[in-house]
Amino acid sequence: MAVGLQGGNGKESSIFAGMTRLLFVLVLSLYGQPRGVAQISIYRTYADLLAEDPIQMDGYRLRALKSQKKNAQLVLSDDPGQPERTIECNEIWGFKLDSSLYRIEPEFGHPALVVLTGEPCFYENGAAHLKMYLEGTQEEHVVWGAGGYLSHDLNSEMTFVPIDIYSYGRKETKKFLESRPAYAPILRCANGQINTNMIRACIKALREGQLE
């Protein structure tokens, strides 16, 4: 499987030029920074991402993530005592906190952290990462949203990775693979491991030609 960004638009590759040669991309950690000081950039559409034309939320800080079964909300504020601003996740393509890119899973409106770019792209649960950022912790359980997602590129369908709760070979996983056979080596390699580090390692092994 090819290394680097795949997709119909070469601009996507240029945006992530620093990532395209990497087989294993880890997004820069924000957890060592003081709470809420990261620059927030909102991408209304995928076209805005390609054009590098975000809405810069200068002066605003991320204060909270309101979680629901569907349609999460980013709660932003600027100076103490000023009204908060709410961003509906289901109305945007995604956002950045400094260098960390989050894409919104469109079906449920949940944020997902872009961890690996290439074919496939891999995302981890964005709510857990944002909670770690807000609380200054290094570990968090997935409470809502999927543990991980895969997609062909940054603008194609995001599919829930069933290995968070299902081991390879179970009925649910077999059904998942009927329409997504290209992901079979990844799921077979991870074999039901909850740790997303295992998923990352399996994708890396696939790209290096170590999986069949």
Q: What angle do CA 188, 192, 196 make, to 5 degrees?
A: 100
Q: Reply yes or no: is the peptide bond before residue 54 cis, omega within 30 of 0.
A: no
Q: How remote is the C-alpha of 172 from its chain's centroid?
A: 23
Q: What percent of the chain has pLDDT over 90?
A: 24
The least confident of 82-91, 120-129, 135-144, 183-192 is 135-144
Q: How far apart are CA 74 and CA 43, in angstroms?
A: 13
Which pLDDT value is given to residue 172?
63
The alpha-carbon radius of gyration of the chain (Å, integer) is 17
pLDDT at 161: 75
Give which of 127, 136, 135 is closest to 65, Cα–Cα. Answer: 127
Phi, psi for residue 178 in degrees, rounded to 5: -60, -40
Dump pLDDT digits (tens) for 130-155: 888 888 877 666 667 677 888 889 99
Q: Taking Cα atoms as reference points, which of 186, 164, 153, 161 lies closest to residue 5?
A: 153
Distances (CA, A) of 22 to 5, 149, 150, 209: 10, 19, 17, 15
More confident residue, 170 or 73: 73
CA–CA separation, 82 and 61 (whole Å)? 12
Contact in structure between 145 and 151 (CB atoms under 8 Å): no
Higher per-residue confidence, 164 vs 144: 144
Torsional class of 118: left (φ above 0), alpha (ψ -120 to 50), beta (otherwise) = left
Does residue 76 have a pLDDT over 70?
A: yes
Length of the chain: 212
3 state SS for 76-99: EECCCCCCCEEEEHHHCCEEEECC
Best-predicted range by mean pLDDT among 18-32, 96-110, 114-128?
A: 96-110
Question: Comparing C-alpha atoms, which of 71, 119, 116 is closest to residue 92?
Answer: 71
d(CA 153, CA 111): 16
Average pLDDT across the chain, whole number: 75
The pLDDT of residue 114 is 93
Q: How far out from the chain centre does Cα 156 lie?
A: 13
pTM assigned to the model = 0.75
